[in-house]
Structure 1
């Protein structure tokens, strides 16, 4: 009897904290992963990857205890130029036959001002894992879409050096410099649905 009573009390004590934790899944149909890199030292070429999946475990009581994981489809790289995209999939760049995904797994979440976060974690790309820091705006206020899904959104940005991930291919220019810049700007716009609503998330 005493054991049963203790167990019941433990459950009651745990309920408030459980209610303040929620799991959210990335809705790939309404999210984007984009990048920008300097081309010929004069313009920025922009591209994107399809998001395969992602999960945010949000601690509503203490956001710094939240976690994030996401996976991108490397072979989906799209810069609106078929020949260039084919080259990007080849061993010179992403070598997508050998490294089909790009993944991120958070290790630390910090507050960075009103509605701002810094999310530190490991980015694995081209078989190389390096630490990166995402500057995050959000999550936005929760809302219901027309199909009953509870949604929120975040925007995350970062800059990285592609050479850190073994993406070293380049061509020297006669006028000096190189054809492809080393610094890459990354922007993630993520639409998130509460896990209980995920089954209906693909509805438009």
Structure 2
């Protein structure tokens, strides 16, 4: 029995430093931005954002590739600054927010991609469909302490998806050729996070 207790104490003692190497961060929605742009009428880009979202980042301070990211975005909070368009985007033609009120991203792999750059691969679930996407990340930044004593970091992530891969198929053909809405959507995340 004494040997068992000693062995358990040794295992716990060895595991504590490993646990201490990971830090948990909450995304600060007041200082973050989840934006997108998509081609409109083949002549310009329409930009928009999602106003409500939350997420957690677990950073492995010894090995960044062991870090994890989980984000949930409220699709009902879409905002392109045009109410009629936003209502259409919330409808069954696009996000169908009554049926799919959230989209989520869960990381599966983190890889370094140069100085202060990462590639974060994960599952994006949107409109009831899950696809693997890769985020190109600048950061995370060095830590900074705000005037209230919170420790913060930041990062910028971008990716491009094809909306039809997620069943967002609505469109109309133009007489001059092309369509009303482009298929490719560029997503940009400006993230500021607070250490828990």
The 5 A counterparts of 1:4-19 are: 4-19=5-20
Q: Any residues of structure 2 matched to 1:114-129 within 5 Å, and which?
A: 114-129=115-130
C-alpha displacement at 1:14, in angstroms?
1.7
Query: Where does 1:193-204 land on structure 2 (aligned, <5 Å)?
Result: 193-195=194-196
TM-score by length of 2: 0.96
Q: What is aligned with 2:87?
A: 86
| CA shift for structure 1 position 10 | 2.1
Q: Does 1:96 align with 2:100?
A: no
Q: Which blocks of at least 5 consecutive residues in structure 2 are unaligned? A: none
Q: Call closer, same or farther: CA 1:51–1:154 in 2, change over 3 Å.
A: farther
Q: Is 1:25 aligned to 2:11, yes or no?
A: no
Structure 2: distance between partners of 1:106 and 1:188: 15
State the aligned residue count: 195
Q: CA deviation at 1:4?
A: 3.0
Deviation at 1:52, TM superposition (A): 2.4
CA distance in 2, matches of 1:39, 1:161: 15
Match of 1:113 in 2: 114
Q: CA deviation at 1:12?
A: 2.2
Quote how far apart the aligned CAs of 1:6 are: 2.5
- Give the Cα–Cα distance (whole angstroms) in 1 for the partners of residues 127 and 9 of structure 2: 50
Cα distance in structure 1, aligned partners of 2:183 and 2:137: 23
Structure 2 distance, partners of 1:131, 1:3, is 44
Question: Which deviates more, 48-57 or 88-97?
Answer: 48-57
* Partner of residue 61, structure 2: 60
Match status 1:136 vs 2:137 = yes
> For 2:119, what is the secondary structure of its paired residue?
strand
Which residue of structure 2 aligns with residue 160 of structure 1? 161
Residues 31, 51 of structure 1: 8 Å contact kept: no
Contact 1:26 1:190 (C-alpha < 8 Å) held by counterparts: yes
Runs (5+) with no aligned partner, structure 1: 196-204
How many angstroms apart in 2 are the aligned matches of 1:87 and 1:16? 52
CA RMSD of aligned residues (A): 1.0
SS of residue paired to 1:119: strand
Tell me the TM-score normalised to structure 1 length.
Answer: 0.93
| SS of aligned partner of 1:75 | helix
- Please give the secondary structure, in 2, of the residue aligned with 1:70: strand
